[in-house]
Amino acid sequence: MEIDKGRIVKYEHHGQDVYVWENLKGAHRDVCLCYSCDVWKPEGEDKCPIAQANYDNCVKFGTVQPVLECPAFRLSEALKGLVEVVESE
């Protein structure tokens, strides 16, 4: 991923004004493992405790913290056959 350090923009996120490199705004969805994980459920009682704690921290501090490494990750059913998961190299 390339970071264009030309512009930092301000916008409102979780009710707070935040700053971000312009070309990375919203990029967390592309790199965060949670969006490809079978354990992650945004609603309901069986939410992933790691994702929920991370989200709570993001809301508390007005940050965006994509999960890049996670011990609880399980490839979502929708991506099986499309994405290769390598257990060890």
Quote the pTM value.
0.79
Residues in the chain: 89
Ranges of each domain in the chain: 8-69
- For the stretch 22-80, pLDDT in tens is 988 989 989 999 999 999 887 777 889 999 999 999 999 999 999 999 999 999 999 99
Q: Could you tell me the sign of the dihedral formed by the alpha carbons of 67, 62, 26, 40, in that order?
A: positive
For residue 19, report the phi and psi dihedrals to the nearest 5 degrees.
-120, 145
